[in-house]
Structure 1
Amino acid sequence: MSERATPIETLSPPTFETLLRTVEEMNTPDGFKAELIRGKIVVSPWSKLRYYRPMRALREQLQAHAPEGHVADTAPFLFQFPAANRAYGPDLYVTDESAFDEEGRHADGTALSLVAESTSLSTKDVDWQEKLDVYGGVVPIYLVVDMQEREITRFSDPSPHGYRSRTTVSFGEPLHVPHPIECDIDTTGF
């Protein structure tokens, strides 16, 4: 498979539930994930090896400050946002563990307290535009770890019109993450 995200076109617009079922039944190659982006199934590669250390450092710091009953992880689960007809597999997330009590394979996006995406050339526009719009109405905190610009941006205070707060720092500078996490992220190792 190529490094670029690949949309799968269909003849008639399928329902959100049909697309979710199709993603569930897909035999996605090792190293790739399938998401519902802009009403299409998109298969894209997992992050490059050099992204491992920054994302691990971020996960460890977030887990230490996660609200009680929440977990920080990078496991390949889809979180669904039915109102937007979207389902994403975030690079890193902090969510209420009760999201995994349900049957099925797609967790409720409203259980998320934080999402972090590390940008790549193939997904950068989706991370900065589409996911920003969808997460901005539901998820309390969205972090964009921009590997190309060597910056991390925190979006917080979601509303029906998107996030109301944005802060960007260069790698090496601390980034404050507000409630419900409430900590300063050390980005020196990023």
Structure 2
Amino acid sequence: MSAVAHEQPITGSPSQADILLESFLSLHSPEGFRAELIEGEIIVAPPPDGDHEDHISHLITQVIRRSKTDMSVSGGKGLRLVSGGLCPKNHVIPDLTFAPEELRLFRGAPSWMEPDGVAMVVEVTSGKPDQDRIAKRHCYARAAIPLYLLVDREKAQLSLFGKPHREEYTEVHLAAFGEPLALPEPFDFDLDTKPFL
């Protein structure tokens, strides 16, 4: 009877996901560029244009002034999110991340933090709009972030996604630029979108 050789897994050997994550975390992006790891793909984006930043400015101003709950905001906070399949955790940097001020969520947080306590993330479309429309939406839903606001410049509309379930949001509210968009608790005000026209 001949002996059958059985392959034994090599312990301590890094997986492809580990190697990808290590490569991503050691990446040095050029100044002003933003690197993210989304569903196993490293995305490096150039600095945003002026219209993108103008939209961000209007959003911050309204949320800070008009929300029923005092909000903290971060533009560029890294979030470590659950990924789909065998990919390493997603490392996503929303254009804006809002959390109730009382949580002091950003104080003392590491570069890449867990999303617990985040009330809403915002993306304003840029060079790869489908990344914001699809991949990031699934990332945020999977992480159970309650609200995802997408400012879609190409479609001239806002999409507010709510009630995350698994890797999708079960509610979506749309508003064309110029129409008000109701933001629910903890914000509880109508967002004026006329400045986006």
Identify the residue that residue 15 of structure 1 maps to in structure 2.
18
Rounded to whole Å, the distance in 2 between the matches of 1:101 and 1:42 is 27
Offset at 1:83?
A: 5.1
Identify the residue that residue 78 of structure 1 maps to in structure 2.
78
In 2 relative to 1, CA 66–118 (structure 1 residues): closer, same or farther, beyond 3 Å?
farther
Identify the residue that residue 125 of structure 1 maps to in structure 2.
130
Q: 1:136 aligns with which of 138, 141, 157?
A: 141
Task: Give 3-state SS (helix, strand or coil) of 2:155's partner.
Answer: coil
Identity over the aligned pairs, expressed in percent?
26
> 1:143–1:154: 8 Å Cα contact kept in structure 2?
yes
Q: Over aligned residue pairs, what C-alpha RMSD do you find?
A: 2.3
Identify the residue that residue 37 of structure 2 maps to in structure 1.
36
Task: Give 3-state SS (helix, strand or coil) of 1:157's partner.
Answer: strand
Matched, 1:116 2:118: no
Using the size of structure 1 for normalisation, the TM-score is 0.81
Offset at 1:54?
A: 1.5
Offset at 1:86?
A: 0.7
Identify the residue that residue 175 of structure 2 maps to in structure 1.
169
In 2 relative to 1, CA 39–57 (structure 1 residues): closer, same or farther, beyond 3 Å?
same
Rounded to whole Å, the distance in 1 between the matches of 2:78 and 2:24 is 9
> 1:99–1:107: 8 Å Cα contact kept in structure 2?
no
- For 1:89, give the aligned amino acid: I
Q: Equivalent residues in 2 for 1:146-185 (5 A)?
A: 146-185=152-191
Aligned residues: 175
Identify the residue that residue 8 of structure 2 maps to in structure 1.
none
- For 1:100, give the aligned amino acid: F
Offset at 1:36?
A: 0.8
Matched, 1:50 2:51: yes
Offset at 1:183?
A: 1.3
Which entry has the higher C-alpha Rg, 1 or 2?
A: 2
> 2:120–2:147: 8 Å Cα contact kept in structure 1?
yes
Offset at 1:90?
A: 0.5
In 2 relative to 1, CA 128–151 (structure 1 residues): closer, same or farther, beyond 3 Å?
same
In 2 relative to 1, CA 161–108 (structure 1 residues): closer, same or farther, beyond 3 Å?
closer
Offset at 1:15?
A: 2.3
In 2 relative to 1, CA 186–103 (structure 1 residues): closer, same or farther, beyond 3 Å?
closer
